């Protein structure tokens, strides 16, 4: 009995590791939609030089885990919801069909302007020799970045509804954004004041909360990348870093995942899809 129980547990664990089962008529059809946060800008090898898309971005890693047939249609790394109604119809939305089994979605970062906001927070000298970007973005009692996130919620929900309409039989996974900077940052390694580092990560957390809420409201599953990437932020030693800082330590875009990060996120997405 004990041997049979152990064998059953082994079979169960094997199923959990290998991910979702293949379809009877072939491999799972997996479509990856998104922006530069998942495209793998500059990470080698690049499979689309026009779009700076990498063959080791997280969708490719996840697809390899469970033998899926991947259609990776990241819109040149820069779709964005506001452009979605115009530009994502082809090729991103056009990749979806009733036979699609799995969709991963990584968007909204561009619409809220997080990368440009982070770049505006650079201060080469310590306080008070400069200007706090938190003070600038919250001047007058209104948090501009929070307002952008709130304004993006409804269009994002509409995008999820559109995906469901075009791929009615698919599971939809929405991937969040990681932990880019630890509490108080790591000035001067990343030349952003502690108060601004905390504000930027809090803004990313606010964006993640919106993505999670909209996912729940529109029949999608939110995949948390924030928690597992704690300790792997841009302040971490290079050997432990999943997310690059203002000056990348590897061949990757600033303020984007590294190849190491893509590998880790791919494993997380594969586990969520299992």
Enumerate the active-site residues: 36, 256
Token pair 């729940």 in the structure block, residue: 216
CA within 13 Å, CB half, 168: 2
Instruction: Determine the angle formed by the axes of helices 194-217 and 144-166, rounding to 10 degrees.
Output: 30
User: How is 57-108 classified by DSSP, letter by letter?
Assistant: SHHHHHHHHHT-EEEE---TT---HHHHHHHTTTTTGGG--TT--EEEEE-S
Alpha-helix residue ranges (DSSP H) falling in the chain: 2-18, 36-39, 58-66, 81-87, 109-112, 114-119, 133-137, 144-166, 194-217, 259-273
Residues 6+ apart with CB under 8 A from 213: 153
């Amino acid at each position: 009995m004990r041997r049979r129980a152990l064998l059953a547990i082994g079979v169960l664990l094997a199923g959990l590791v290998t991910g979702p089962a293949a379809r009877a008529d072939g491999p799972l059809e997996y479509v990856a939609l998104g922006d530069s946060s998942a495209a793998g800008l500059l990470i080698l090898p690049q499979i689309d030089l026009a779009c700076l898309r990498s063959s080791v971005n997280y969708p490719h890693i996840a697809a390899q885990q469970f033998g899926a047939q991947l259609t990776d249609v990241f819109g040149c790394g820069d779709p964005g919801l506001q452009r979605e109604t115009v530009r994502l119809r082809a090729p991103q939305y056009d990749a979806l069909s009733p036979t699609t089994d799995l969709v991963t979605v990584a968007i909204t970062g561009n619409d809220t302007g997080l990368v440009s906001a982070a770049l505006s927070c650079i201060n080469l000298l310590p306080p008070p020799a400069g200007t706090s970007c938190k003070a600038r973005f919250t001047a007058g009692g209104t948090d501009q970045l929070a307002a952008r996130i709130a304004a993006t919620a409804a269009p994002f929900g509409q995008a999820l509804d559109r995906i469901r309409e075009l791929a009615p039989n698919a599971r939809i996974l929405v991937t969040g954004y990681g932990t880019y900077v630890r509490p108080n940052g790591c000035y001067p390694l990343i030349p952003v004041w502690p108060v601004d580092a905390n504000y930027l990560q809090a803004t990313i957390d606010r964006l993640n909360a919106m993505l999670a809420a909209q996912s729940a409201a529109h029949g999608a599953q939110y995949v948390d990348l924030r928690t597992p990437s704690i300790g792997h932020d841009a302040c971490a030693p290079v050997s432990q870093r999943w997310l690059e800082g203002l000056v990348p330590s590897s061949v990757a875009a600033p303020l984007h995942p590294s190849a190491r990060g893509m590998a880790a996120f791919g494993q997380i997405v594969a586990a969520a899809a299992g």
